[in-house]
Amino acid sequence: MRITCPHCGNRGLEEFTYTQDAERTRPTDGGATPTPEWADYIYLRDNLKGPRKEYWYHSAGCHAWLIVERDVSTHEILSVRLP
Contacts to Zn ion by CB under 5 A: 5, 7-8, 58, 61-62, 64
Per residue, what are the HEC states of the chain?
Answer: CEEEECCCEEEEHHHCEEEEECCCCCCCCCCCCCCHHHHHHHHCCCCCCCEEEEEEECCCCCCCEEEEEEECCCCCEEEEECC
For Zn ion, give the closer residue by CB, 4 or 35.
Answer: 4
Residue 19: CB minimum distance to Zn ion, A: 15
Residue 53: CB minimum distance to Zn ion, A: 18
For Zn ion, give the closer residue by CB, 38 or 57.
Answer: 57
